[in-house]
Chain A
């Protein structure tokens, strides 16, 4: 009896599997494999956490050049302005998303932001976006999630050249080739990007995007020692040169500074992977990276200004994957990180600040029965400079039928205090002489200043200065996907992130003469929560529609507490103070409640056309009523729609031509979106000299 039932189930199940595959094929996802979610190769449909994959074709057809171009069109992602272009995911600041290239972290953040303009998309095979805390595998920074850029690997003989030219004298040239002979394979990639930049602000010498030249090259060497062993060496350089004309207006007096900013980025990875047998695979990786930034300016009043920053990061990691049986797989790893930084913004740029981290992680994937996958994992990071972090994660996927799939996960994420928060020693003589000191420096410097009578008063927060703790978050994601037939796929994800110990700066002392001194403290507790959903509709063989939407709420828990206690006020139409209602609270600034996108794609006979709409609702920018938080009485940036469109054609399988227009509506907002140019046009030509040995 039981046997019969079981057999019945198997039959039903295999039927479903079959249909699932067919529908997968139609939506073009059958081959999509994701590595970021579990640090092992997994089919996208088998991953228990929310993952988005952007493939090469999508990147090319969107006419993207830099990483931020393609990310800004994805659901639930917003590109922030300030210190470059960063990524806001699940409502969390750019500081809290880990950016990886081929699994290795990129460094060189300014004020927590890693400028995604540094990354060309010319050699990207796919982008994997994992949402929700992933520190259980990746350690620090993976609080909102991880963006992993998988670059092209040499597996066939190819040679491509692509050139794009567009508005503002912007050019982007890619040269990409790979060769494979017997056991050895090589891939080389060159990218050269140049733009004159632009300014949407009339009568300003300062350009919101400065003239930039960027050069990227990447070399990848693979040696297949045997069927079981593979060694690879990867080397990447990114060089950028920015011509700065900076105008600082202080009460109407304009001081211009001219000069050059040079940023260099080097990454080297060596990886050795060996499969002992069908049960054990071992991967060892050594990674070294360096980011160097030098800004040399001369101001109009003759004063030179030099800003230098160098960060180095070295890591050695060993990961072992054990496939114990069909039901159970264990992945385990240990690693050691050494990082260092030098900066003119610290006490002395010759003094190297260092930190060492030792870590270990363990992840088990258990399939008690076919419909259910349970992943449990944890990572422990022991740091030299700050408290240790323990990051567990639990994820479950349940597939009651092939058309339906549910995922739930809960995990902890953390972000370690960075060198800036520990060692900054910066006094801004241009703007009133305020100082910011990292926590390691603050007590020492202020006590010293106090002993020579340079401190007028110490604020309460001075006495709270101590060892900085990592920032923590607990993220819960619940979602799933539904594909009732071959044409429709719906995915959704509900998320909530509770963030503790957020580091913020506070006034800690006044100098004699009134200048303020700030330092960093673990202060805030915040949350973000919302819903993200995507619908794909394959209208016909040639036409498909993609729609995405994110609803987002956020808040600072201490602010909410104050509102509930009746301690927050705003003003009525007469300017008289009145109590602020909780319903007027809008949460964290620079976050839109509604974001959406709609993409229409047509493809036939080697030609395509697409039009993409990206919408963002209003967001809070300034606390104009002076109550210290953001509410409906404050200043908001207007919501807007950006429309991008492109058409392209492939001729004789070798030549691709593409033209496109971004920001078709010519939407600009001088004050709130200074980095967004008006309408731009571009054209791209790609030629494939060699394209054989197709795998």
Chain B
């Protein structure tokens, strides 16, 4: 009986290995750039009496490997690679999740980045004091325009990501508003609030574990 279970276990392992190898051989080159539109990231559901906006407080998890949204129920698994909540970004690693994930912000152009730079160090999340992708305006991927109350992704910022399974990806955030269009500076606060926290980003994932894109 015990043996049987072992056997089944072995078969499953083998099968999964096979599957992995197959994917790797058929997909030795990185995925071409994928664009994800309108990923809602804890959109605003109300304002405190002081006028501070709030959402439900939950991260939107995403798997770069499968190009799919991952439910909140799987937050403690390695199914997801990156999580978004407002302007905060977490990577599945460190104290954010059980994965092998890490990351840093690279200054340069997404298209010119053919490999993870040799001298780079991947950081892991150590919430709440530090994150692989630094939180706050003008420290990581975005700048907050306080005069017009708008969040603008800084151009020339590439998020280098090590996924939950230890693979590599590069990611560029294109926009923070619904439909991938930033409201004009003159738009009402109501529009600026209801249309924010929708990520549009593009990424390239290298499934073979190498650092080349």
Contact = CB atoms under 8 A, between A and B. Distances in A.
Interface of A: 249-253, 456, 567-571, 574-580, 622-628, 635, 671
Contacts of A625: 152, 155
B145 A251 contact: no
A570 B155 contact: yes
B51 A253 contact: yes
Contacts of B150: 624
A576 B174 contact: yes
User: Interface residue tally of chain B, by bracket?
Assistant: 35 or more
The 9 A-B pairs of least Cβ separation, nearest first, read A569-B156, A626-B152, A569-B155, A253-B51, A252-B189, A575-B174, A250-B51, A577-B155, A626-B143
Given A249-B189, A671-B185, A575 B200 contact: yes
Contacts of A635: 185
Given A253-B51, A622-B148, 11 more contacts: A251-B47, A456-B129, A569-B109, A569-B155, A575-B174, A577-B110, A624-B150, A624-B182, A626-B143, A671-B185, A671-B186
A627 B109 CA distance: 13
A251 B149 contact: yes
B190 interface: yes
Residue of B109, B175, B190 most packed against chain A (CB within 10 A): B109
Interface string B174-209: 110000101001101110010000001010000000
A624 B189 contact: no
Contacts of B143: 626, 628
Given A569-B155, A575-B180, A576-B110, A626 B185 contact: no
Nearest to A570: B155
Contact of B53 (A251, A576, A623): A251
B114 to A, nearest CB: 16
B193 A252 contact: yes
Contacts of A627: 154-156
A252 B47 CA distance: 9
A625 B111 CA distance: 19
Nearest to A628: B143
B200 to A, nearest CB: 7
Nearest to A568: B156
A569 B202 CA distance: 17
Contacts of B129: 456
Contacts of A575: 174-175, 180, 200
A622 B145 contact: yes
Contact of B51 (A252, A570, A579, A623): A252
A569 B145 CA distance: 17
A576 B202 contact: yes
B190 A252 contact: yes
Nearest to A626: B152
B81 interface: no
B27 to A, nearest CB: 24
Overall SS of chain A's interface: loop
Nearest to A574: B174
Contacts of A623: 145, 152
Contact of A578 (B109, B152, B182): B109
Interface in B136-158: 138, 142-143, 145, 147-150, 152-157
Contacts of A574: 174
Contacts of A626: 142-143, 145, 152-155
B179 to A, nearest CB: 11
A626 B155 CA distance: 7
Nearest to A579: B109
Contacts of B190: 252
B107 interface: yes
A251 B189 contact: yes
Nearest to A633: B155
B5 interface: no
Contacts of A576: 110-111, 172, 174, 202
A193 to B, nearest CB: 31
A223 to B, nearest CB: 54
B45 to A, nearest CB: 13
A252 B186 CA distance: 13
B118 interface: no
Contacts of A571: 155, 174
B8 interface: no
Contact of A251 (B52, B142, B148, B172): B52
Contacts of A567: 107, 156
B118 to A, nearest CB: 20
A577 B186 contact: no
A252 B51 CA distance: 8
Contacts of A628: 138, 143, 154
Contacts of A624: 145, 150, 152, 182, 185
A427 B62 CA distance: 39
Contacts of A671: 185-186
Contacts of A622: 145, 147-148, 185
A625 B150 CA distance: 11
Nearest to A250: B51
Contacts of B153: 626
A579 B156 CA distance: 8
26 contacts: A251-B47, A251-B52, A252-B193, A569-B155, A569-B156, A571-B174, A574-B174, A575-B180, A576-B111, A576-B172, A576-B174, A577-B109, A577-B172, A579-B156, A622-B147, A622-B185, A623-B145, A624-B150, A625-B155, A626-B145, A627-B155, A627-B156, A628-B154, A635-B185, A671-B185, A671-B186
Contacts of B156: 567-569, 577, 579, 627
A580 B148 CA distance: 23
Nearest to B157: A577
A188 B168 CA distance: 81
A415 B154 CA distance: 34
B195 to A, nearest CB: 13
Residue of A576, A578, A626, A635 most packed against chain B (CB within 10 A): A626
A259 to B, nearest CB: 21
B3 to A, nearest CB: 57
A579 B150 CA distance: 23
A574 B110 CA distance: 13
A136 to B, nearest CB: 38
